[in-house]
Amino acid sequence: MFYIQSCQLIYPAEGDIVINEISIGEVKSLTINDVFDVYVTPDSTNQLIIECGENQAKTIKTLYDSVNLKLTLDNTAKVIATQGYRTIKVYLHTNLLTEIEITEAARVYFTDTMRVQSFLFSQKGDMGDCNLKLIAENIEIKINDCSGKYMLSGNTNYLYIYNRGLATIDATELFATKVQCNQLSNGHCYTSAQKELNWKIYRNGNIYQNGGIEHIKGESYGKGKLYINQ
């Protein structure tokens, strides 16, 4: 009974859907500290829109650092992931996003291809789901103790993958000149290295390389294997 009452204090009810537009400048770095569905659209017109229940809106916190061009999404209600509440949707329009850090079970989807010099995506210790579309010189994907599926597409000169936990990283549609894949997951990694693949496997997850290439170097310390899909 105490547990139910505590949840009711957080959200007595979701309430009617409200759409709030928040004024921001350009965003280079995005930190997500709670359960949000975030839709990123490459756009020179900077815009942040949050769609949720009117009572959910009361606990959402946004912080914009105009010096470092950093946006933080947070929520003072921390148990909503298991309570069946309506998904909080966030729509971000920006043209220079180069970093996303996630600390909760958030989901991120790019509606179109983001073109930047470099890009870093990291998530720690929760369930995730993302679809990133990128053209960048360097791309880093760091997944720590997460489950879920991470989809990537586009082009890059260098792709670095660190995958630990249960997650699957599917970069079949991300064509990279060089790939460094450190696989510590029981999920799998899918790559499309065009010239060079360096890899290490420490657990049961496999690496599936799309197409044969001349320069492949690596070793497995676990049960996982490298497979070349011709």
Q: Report how far residue 120's alpha carbon sits from residue 90's, in angstroms, rounded to the nearest whole number.
A: 20
What pLDDT digit, counting tens, does each position of 5-33 carry? 334 344 556 788 999 999 999 999 999 99
| pTM attached to this predicted model | 0.91
What does the block give as tokens for 44?
């020179």
Beta bridge partners of 210: 229
Q: Which listed CATH number (2.160.20.120, 2.30.40.10, 2.60.40.1080, 3.40.50.740) goes with 15-111?
A: 2.160.20.120
What does the block give as tokens for 15?
């309430």
What pLDDT digit, counting tens, does each position of 117-169 carry? 999 999 997 888 999 999 999 999 999 999 999 999 999 999 999 999 999 99
Q: Is 95 exposed, middle or buried (0-12, 13-18, 19+ CB in 10 A)?
A: middle
DSSP 80: G
Q: Report how far residue 29's alpha carbon sits from residue 102's, in angstroms, rounded to the nearest whole number.
A: 11
Mean pLDDT of the chain: 92
CB of 71 within 8 A of CB of 92? yes
- Please name the residue that has the structure tokens 């001349």: 214
Sequence ranges of the domains in the chain: 15-111, 113-230
Q: Report how far residue 225's alpha carbon sits from residue 230's, in angstroms, rounded to the nearest whole number.
A: 16
Q: Report how far residue 204's alpha carbon sits from residue 19's, in angstroms, rounded to the nearest whole number.
A: 44
DSSP 186: S
CB of 50 within 8 A of CB of 22? yes
